[in-house]
Amino acid sequence: MIITSGLTLFSIGLGAATILSVAGRLLYVKEDPRITRIEEALPGANCGGCGFPGCSGAAAAIVANKASASVCIVADAETNGVVAAIMGQEVVEREPELAMCDCTGGQRATDTFYYEGAFDCRAAHQLYGGSKSCPSGCLGFGTCVRACSFNAIHMGPDGLPVIDYDECKGCGSCVDVCPRGVIGVVGMTARLLHLNQTTDCLAPCQQKCPAQIDIPKYISQIKMGDLDGAVATIRERNPLLVICSRVCPRPCETQCRRQHVDEPVGINMLKRFVADRELRSGVRLPIPCAKDTGKKIAVIGGGPAGLSCAYFLRRLGHHPTIFDAMPELGGQTRYGIPEYRLPKADLDWEIQGILDLGISVKVNTKFGVDFTLETLKEEGFDATFLGIGAWQASGMYAEGEDLDGVMGGIEFLTAHALGQKPAIGDHVIVVGGGNTAIDAARTCIRLGAEVTLMYRRTRTEMPADMEEIVGAEEEGVQFEFLAAPARVIGDENGRATHLEYYEMELGEPDNSGRRRPVKKEGSEKRMAASLIIPAIGQKPDLSCLYEEGDEESCPLETTRWQTILANEDTFETAIPGIFTAGDVYTGPDLVVSAIGDGRKAARSIHYYITQGEIPIPDATQRDMIPHTLFKEINNVERKDRAVLSHLCHGDERNCTFNEVEGPLSEAEARAEADRCLRCGLVCYDETIDQQEYREKKNI
């Protein structure tokens, strides 16, 4: 019986085996041998991070050309190399990408209701948009933590996901499950190209900053002692931090929520602190650049807009060449801002750092004379950036303003910066109320003249920065308010000797909200002057764009303010491939606006030369987001704002061009950074613990 059973089973088995082997022959499906080889090379984790069913699925997809050789997110460079070799492909290095969480709120954002039920962000989000008051902040149920195949995420004490960058493979599983878009997988290129989105966690200061610097991040890095990291954070948006930290009028601080508690955080002082620390350390921090693309871009104008554009293009891997008409780069920051506000040595250091990234420079090359848009194209430039600034001083519209002894504000400052020592005499009249007027006045004071600053409105309406006005007053500049120039009176040699002016009074407010000055008839007075400096305004000099005398031949569309017309999002002009930004596009504006727009133009150029199309996301932030401008701030302890020390005092200041304001010390900077409320969209750090507070006060 045993023999029979054995034999029977043996013969059934044999029969099945025969059928199978015959079938195997007949039904053989020719499979690419590379699939097996690739499957062997892959790590075999079957994690699904690549989006295919297991490693064999990924292997089949690679062979079918549906996925790249580096599709496996677990594999190291070596494995990718082996896979690519099997596919007969070359291995190129990919920019590392890691998950980032942009929410700073977490549990800090108030609960709108207590969530009893599914502990899952997606489920919670579907129910009235989640339990948190912030419309796009983290819900904190940790769905991303469960989604991560590599245990690279855990929930931190603030109720925010904390990403372990040693474990993160940048697979994006967390991004897929997050209903709020809090987590994103980004590399350096994506970060440099990112425009503020209304769905981002944007503190009001970051919304206001024309350069879109991640202000809360660098302040918290300073607080934590990561000063190099703070510099890197600023450099992702603003390459000219030494310059900006000295001359920026700080639009960000006007939006600082802290002003509703005591005073705004000294954001720019903190920038100055980290910028100066690097400047004085003697060691430049490395600035990473993307892989070379071999694309050439001509950047016309080496001012803040041009430098910013060239810097971002270089970091994106392109090869910009800066052309500048002046002997040295820097534009208005070099020739328009006096030494006592921005030392030239520091400016040189900053510009050199940008050029060291691999940017070519041609100075003393005037656009329209030494080269034109056509010659640039012939030389093989893939795109052109036009940032020639606004160098033409507006006139006073007063009779006799072309006499000797009348010199435009920017003209005067440039001549002084070039060391031409313009003759100023002993009594200078500066006309205008902006920063250029004050700069000219304070420069003249330092050159030993008596200075009167004439402005047609009053001190409160002056557009110059308050510190500058105070500085000028302290240094002895005389102010003549409510006075407008009528005509310049010259002597027989054609040299100006007096300025005749009207007295004014303030009337109804105009479009800009300032009260319009009205002339008092018959109030003419005269004031003697050895030099008259009208610093009323500037406009771009577009004569380089058209043939002499023929404005019709200008290839670009211009506005009635003599600025170039361009798309306000992409900065592309009427001619494809030619982009613009800075004062030539906006008219005279802040350095930081030129830097920010220079970056946006660089972004457009990057997309233009790599994809041909420039995407502008719908959620791009343009105006301040209303619900983030909350004014009620509770439970925050009052702390004094830091004060910048003065490096030189009193009379000494009037005869030296040395810098006036000094930097913060490290302890002061930490204390100032600690004042930051780390605002998100609707939440902020409360510094007083309610429980403790009540116990202390015995409530």
Partner 1 sequence: MQEYFLLFMGAMFVNNIVLAQYLGNCPFIGTSKESGVAVGMGGAVVFVAVMAAAITWLVQRYILLPFGLDYLQTLAFILVIASLVQFVEMFLKKMIPALYKSLGIFLPLITTNCAVMGIALICQREEMDLLTTVLFAFASGMGFMIALILLAGIREKLAVRRLPMAMRGTPIGLVLAGLMSLAFFAFKGMI
Name the residue nearer to partner 1 (CB basis): 9 or 190: 9
Residue pair 410/336 in contact (Cβ under 8 Å)? The answer is yes
Distance of closest approach, residue 627 Cβ to partner 1, in angstroms? 29
Name the residue nearer to partner 1 (CB basis): 25 or 560: 25
Distance of closest approach, residue 169 Cβ to partner 1, in angstroms? 23
Q: Which residues lie below 8 Å from residue 212, measured CB to CB, with a gap of 6+?
A: 195, 196, 206, 237, 596, 599
- DSSP letter for 661, please: B
Name the residue nearer to partner 1 (CB basis): 126 or 281: 126
CA angle 532, 538, 542 (to 5 degrees): 125
Distance of closest approach, residue 593 Cβ to partner 1, in angstroms? 47
Name the residue nearer to partner 1 (CB basis): 29 or 667: 29
Name the residue nearer to partner 1 (CB basis): 30 or 649: 30
- Cα 494 to the center of its chain, rounded Å: 48
Name the residue nearer to partner 1 (CB basis): 59 or 325: 59
Structure tokens at 520: 């008092």
Residue pair 220/684 in contact (Cβ under 8 Å)? The answer is no
Name the residue nearer to partner 1 (CB basis): 16 or 190: 16
Sign of dihedral through CA atoms 589, 232, 155, 77?
Answer: positive
Distance of closest approach, residue 1 Cβ to partner 1, in angstroms? 9
Bridge partners of 130, per DSSP, are none
Name the residue nearer to partner 1 (CB basis): 122 or 539: 122
SS3 596: helix
Residue pair 350/307 in contact (Cβ under 8 Å)? The answer is no
Name the residue nearer to partner 1 (CB basis): 20 or 363: 20
d(CA 130, CA 139): 7
SS3 694: helix
Closest C-alpha to 601, from 358, 393, 308, 243: 308
Amino acid at 673: A
Name the residue nearer to partner 1 (CB basis): 25 or 631: 25
Name the residue nearer to partner 1 (CB basis): 13 or 395: 13
Distance of closest approach, residue 116 Cβ to partner 1, in angstroms? 9
Pairing relationship of beta strands 392-393 and 525-528 according to DSSP bridges: unpaired
The enclosing H or E element of 692 equals helix 690-697
As a whole number of Å, the CA-based R_g of the chain is 32
d(CA 580, CA 387): 6
Name the residue nearer to partner 1 (CB basis): 122 or 516: 122
Distance of closest approach, residue 114 Cβ to partner 1, in angstroms? 13
Distance of closest approach, residue 141 Cβ to partner 1, in angstroms? 9
Name the residue nearer to partner 1 (CB basis): 63 or 359: 63
Q: Which residues bind partner 1 (CB under 8 A)?
A: 4-5, 8-9, 12-13, 16-17, 19-20, 23-24, 26-29, 53, 117-120, 122-123
Distance of closest approach, residue 310 Cβ to partner 1, in angstroms? 50
Name the residue nearer to partner 1 (CB basis): 54 or 81: 54
Distance of closest approach, residue 592 Cβ to partner 1, in angstroms? 46
CA angle 151, 152, 157 (to 5 degrees): 100
Distance of closest approach, residue 107 Cβ to partner 1, in angstroms? 18
Distance of closest approach, residue 168 Cβ to partner 1, in angstroms? 24
Distance of closest approach, residue 120 Cβ to partner 1, in angstroms? 4
Distance of closest approach, residue 68 Cβ to partner 1, in angstroms? 23
Cα distance from N-terminal residue to C-terminal residue, the chain: 95
Distance of closest approach, residue 20 Cβ to partner 1, in angstroms? 6
CA angle 227, 276, 441 (to 5 degrees): 145
Name the residue nearer to partner 1 (CB basis): 46 or 352: 46
Distance of closest approach, residue 173 Cβ to partner 1, in angstroms? 15
Report H helices in 431-570: 435-446, 466-474
Per-position DSSP letters for 154-216, written without gaps between them: EE-TTSSEEE-TTT-----HHHHH-TT--EEEE-HHHHHHPPPBTTS---HHHHH-TT---HH
Sign of dihedral through CA atoms 107, 109, 110, 116?
Answer: negative
Residue pair 243/342 in contact (Cβ under 8 Å)? The answer is yes
Q: Which residues lie below 8 Å from residue 345, measured CB to CB, with a gap of 6+?
A: none
Residue pair 439/460 in contact (Cβ under 8 Å)? The answer is no
Amino acid at 305: A
Pairing relationship of beta strands 360-362 and 427-431 according to DSSP bridges: unpaired
Closest C-alpha to 232, from 241, 223, 245, 244: 241
Q: Name the phi and psi angles at 428, rounded to 5.
A: -110, 135
Q: How many CB atoms lie within 10 A of CB 386?
A: 30
